[in-house]
Amino acid sequence: MSTADCEAAGQQRTRWDPEAPASGGDILIALRFADRAARKAVGDELAGTGVHTGQEIVLAKLLHLGSLPVAKLAKVLDVEVPTATRTTQRMEAAGLVRRLKDDTDARKVSIELTEHGTEVARTVQQLHSQAGDRALQGVSPEDRRLLRNLLWSIYANIEELPG
């Protein structure tokens, strides 16, 4: 199929040789581009929901893990505590989360989803699924499973690196 045929069919021409060897650097670059495209796809889906990019991860983590102290939430999100604090303050102002003070230590604050936040988190899950389904059109269930497992393996390997 020619480039013109691909463009007319709404397909993008392959920009790499799929048969060429793939170095670790090639893989990490491809992951970075895929991550940027995924963030854009999710951002496009979030438009109009009142949820900003980045907040959807907070919603997902709280939906999955329940109430978390701010420091633990920051660790789970791999951000600094002040970043998690600012994000949750914005989300609290939007009615998505609430702060819970610790009965024994007033300095400790946990974050949990409000009822509205839980509804929005479930909607965001659906939007992630829609964006993912579009991104993986034409990819077989077996290849999806393989890709998921490979990505989690890469993640685990990187997380185990020193420093």
pLDDT at 2: 42
Please list the residues that pair with 109 across neighbouring strands.
101
Residue 40 within any structural domain of the chain: no
Q: Report the number of distinct structural domains present in the chain.
A: 1
pLDDT digits (tens, 9 = 90+) for 32-57: 999 999 888 888 888 888 898 889 99
Residue 115 within any structural domain of the chain: yes
Of 127, 101, 103, 100, nearest in space to 114 by CA = 100
pLDDT band at residue 161 under the 50/70/90 scheme? confident
Domain span at residue 132 reads 49-138
Q: What is the CATH number of the domain that holds 84?
A: 1.10.10.10
| Secondary structure in 3-state letters for 138-149 | CCCHHHHHHHHH
Residue 9 predicted with pLDDT over 80:
no
DSSP structural state of residue 108: -
pTM above 0.75, yes or no: no
